[in-house]
Amino acid sequence: MSWRLDNRRRFILLLLAVTALLMQTVLDQTRTPTRQWDFDLKLEAATRAERAFAAVREHRGLEGASLDLVNDPAGTGLIGPEISLITNAAGDLDAKLTSLNPNFAAVLVQYFRQAGLDPGDPVAVAVSGSFPGMNICLYAAMETMELRPVVVTSVGASNWGANSPEFTWLDMEKLFFEKGIFHTRSQAATFGGGNDMGRGMSPAGRRLLRQSIERNEITFLGSDNIEDAIDKRMALYQDLSQGRAYRLFVNVGGGVASVGNRHNKTLLPEGLSFNLKAHNWPRKGTLILFADKGVPVVHLLRIINLARAHGLPLAPDYQPQPGQGEIFVREMYRWPLAAAFLVVYCLSCILILAPEIRRGLFDRLGRRSAVTPLVFLVAAGFLFTPTVSASAQWSKMTPSREGPEICLTSEGQNFTYLVLDAGDPVEFQVNGPRRIKLITRYAFGTGDPESQPFVVSVSLDGTEILRKSFTAQANENVVLCEKVGLVSSLRRAYVDVPKGAHFLQVSGQASGEGNVVGRLFRQNKRKTSGTVPYAPESYAELATLQFESGMQSTYYRFEADTPLTFAVTGPTNLQLYTRLDFEPGMLGSQKHMLEVWRDGVIWRTFHYDSTRLANAFYPNRLDILPGTRKRLRISVPDGLHQFEVRCVRPDDCGITAQIRIPRKDLRGSP
């Protein structure tokens, strides 16, 4: 190729590039503000939401509420305290401030229009107290479009939500109803929080939630466990549907009864979804169950992402006004001019470049670059670099000030324990969120009997959060280092420390002459590719296994005529932990046999010998005692597969089981 032709090619390409840039500049300079679809409907919804915001501001002012203008700079009255007795989870203040925008009502109108909703269509709704501003926008959008919602509310709230006990989301609902702003009210309410039962809150906090439900005359939807909570919600939605199929399901917040499991929050997309991607859901909440029925879902979480996607401000220190944002008006290109430029540019490319292409001036563009092998090697290096996974570990905690200690010898090793005295508690400083493990023993005095009761107490920031009673039994394998004396077997207890810096006090009390001694450990959690619980589709009943240490574990019981069934997408490897049921009078070892069926065919048979498990029981079934745990591994090939686990022998056997799946395999096959 001659240098003249090469220079000509460069000139042609440069000319076309400059022309394209000039056209793009003209298009950018001629963009005009354009109203978006359903402008009037969106503005009506946003205006209605603003009326509700104003009603809260007025109400809070009249009742003399003290507003925190640092955390609530716009003075909306919709930002609650950081901590209260009905706070059930950690919340992000920026997300809460971002949600206090009436123009989110316009976003929801757009979702409803995209879902094809018409006036009178039934909509299933789940809200919580965590995002009162988003709840307001949802109600405004539904009433503007004259939909027929069935609402279930989780009354508890995360930090900076509707977590003031005297002014919960149900109280706000009643305020809006009395002022004629909204006619929508909750048909039922739950506590929210852990298992949708208020787990993680104090009894006083649950009493306050119950009082809020009663004073607002809302039906309380109580449950025994998370599976029961999900089933009762689905039954309520069905009962109140009046025979019509729901056209949409809307969820506000991360309520566990809606999403099913905390791990699902990373799998569920925010906004409107017509079809959820297939995943190995650890447990299916109401949102996923509706999606399985083909119902479109709107998931209102990760508020920052939703605001960015629709051009709304992030955590503003002012109150946005209705009609502001790209959801209403957006600068758009002049499409006739853009179409004309496109036609002209394409014709220019054809007329100018066609002769050059025929001469083969661009043959060299198909040659491989010398950089390609290097890129491949770098990519391969990243691909085959081993990933380091780590699991949770425990680190010993040192008290804030020195106190009396005692040395114990166990299996040839010396361990230093702190003396836990009721009159002089051992003090620690700890940063949360973090789990703390307390290991205690009783060092017997000379006059103590061989069985000695003792009590351990843990206080957080001056408030007692744990008080456990134990019975010390002498352990011959543990002795005092420096003198003769009996020591008991260890007893464990666990406490969860919330976010932030906290002051922990630990004390022990016994009626004997000896000492209660202990060691504290903090859990160091690192990123891991470990396993998570996986809920089956059918079973006989839910079983909660309670250990003496205070820890609980959820199992699913199946029997000879009620197998355990579940579906999972491979490839993956499941861990199935099983325990044989023992009657109180059964002793010694018991044999049993399990069959695992895959896609209707027997896959493998397992034979086990089990003994009774000491120091554990089923609180809801005291007539049954747990057996020792047995583990089997289930290999799942590519694709979706249906499994059944059957108890074959003995004929009347009962088995409790727990399924665990690697966290990395929750998304299933790509």
How much is the mean pLDDT over the chain? Answer: 87
One fold for both 393-524 and 531-665? yes
Share of the chain above pLDDT 90, in %: 57
Q: How confident is residue 669, by pLDDT bands cut at 50, 70 and 90? A: low
Model pLDDT for residues 263-322, shown as the tens digit of each residue: 999 899 999 999 999 899 999 999 999 999 999 999 999 999 999 999 999 999 999 999
Indicate the DSSP class of residue 391: -
pLDDT of amino acid 587? 78
Q: How confident is residue 498, by pLDDT bands cut at 50, 70 and 90? A: confident
State which fold the 393-524 domain adopts.
Jelly Rolls (2.60.120)
pLDDT of amino acid 557? 95
pLDDT greater than 90 at residue 434: no
Q: What are the CA-CA distances from residue 633 to residues 577, 585, 658, 659, 661 (Å)?
A: 9, 31, 12, 10, 10
Q: What mean pLDDT is predicted for residues 520-533?
A: 76
Distant-in-sequence, close-in-space partners of 361: CB < 8 Å, separation ≥ 6: 1, 5, 9
pLDDT greater than 80 at residue 231: yes
Indicate the DSSP class of residue 37: T
| Among 56-60, 214-218, 363-367, the least confident range | 363-367
Q: Which residues pair with 32 in a beta bridge?
A: 332
Q: How confident is residue 489, by pLDDT bands cut at 50, 70 and 90? A: confident
pLDDT greater than 60 at residue 378: no
Would you list the domain boundaries of the chain? 3-27+338-361, 39-329, 393-524, 531-665
Q: How confident is residue 366, by pLDDT bands cut at 50, 70 and 90? A: very low
Q: What mean pLDDT is predicted for residues 68-76?
A: 90
Query: Residue 130: which of 265, 7, 22 has the closest Cα?
Result: 265
Asked whether the CA dihedral 604, 608, 613, 617 is positive or negative, the reply is positive
Whether the Cβ atoms of residue 408 and residue 444 lie closer than 8 Å to each other: no
3-state secondary structure of 618: coil
Q: What mean pLDDT is predicted for residues 414-429?
A: 89
Token pair 């003792």 is found at 454
The secondary element (H helix, E strand) that includes residue 377 is helix 371-384
pLDDT of amino acid 206? 94
pLDDT of amino acid 365? 46
CA 637 – CA 615 distance, rounded (Å): 38
Q: Which residues pair with 486 in a beta bridge?
A: 479
Whether the Cβ atoms of residue 121 and residue 247 lie closer than 8 Å to each other: yes
Backbone angles phi, psi at 661, to 5 degrees: -125, 145
* Torsion, Cα of 410, 588, 453, 417 (10° steps): 20
pLDDT of amino acid 414? 84
Q: What are the CA-CA distances from residue 356 to residues 20, 68, 352, 604 (Å)?
A: 19, 71, 8, 68
Q: Is the peptide bond before 533 cis (omega within 30 degrees of 0)?
A: no
More confident residue, 417 or 352: 417
pLDDT greater than 90 at residue 93: yes
Q: Could you give the strand order of the β-sheet that contains 248-252, starting from the edge strand earlier in sequence?
A: 219-220, 188-190, 148-154, 122-128, 248-252, 297-300, 271-273
Number of Cα atoms under 13 Å in the Cβ half of residue 12: 18
Indicate the DSSP class of residue 386: P
Model pLDDT for residues 101-119, shown as the tens digit of each residue: 999 999 999 999 999 999 9
Model pLDDT for residues 442-468, shown as the tens digit of each residue: 998 888 888 889 999 999 888 888 888
Q: What are the CA-CA distances from residue 613 to residues 188, 458, 588, 646 (Å)?
A: 41, 28, 11, 22
> Which of 1.10.3720.10, 1.10.287.130, 2.60.120.260, 3.40.50.2300 is the CATH number of 531-665?
2.60.120.260
pLDDT of amino acid 45? 96
What is the total residue count of the chain? 670
pLDDT of amino acid 480? 87
Model pLDDT for residues 135-175, shown as the tens digit of each residue: 999 999 999 999 999 999 999 999 999 999 999 999 999 99
Q: How confident is residue 670, by pLDDT bands cut at 50, 70 and 90? A: low
Model pLDDT for residues 601-645, shown as the tens digit of each residue: 999 999 999 999 888 899 988 899 999 999 999 999 999 999 999
CA 421 – CA 517 distance, rounded (Å): 8
pLDDT greater than 80 at residue 332: no
pLDDT greater than 50 at residue 67: yes
CA 145 – CA 119 distance, rounded (Å): 6
Q: What are the CA-CA distances from residue 212 to residues 79, 85, 87, 133, 466 (Å)?
A: 18, 13, 14, 19, 27
DSSP sequence for 56-95:
HHHHHHHTT----TTTSTT--S----SS-TTEEE---HHH
Model pLDDT for residues 384-405, shown as the tens digit of each residue: 334 333 344 788 898 987 788 9
Q: What mean pLDDT is predicted for residues 328-352?
A: 79
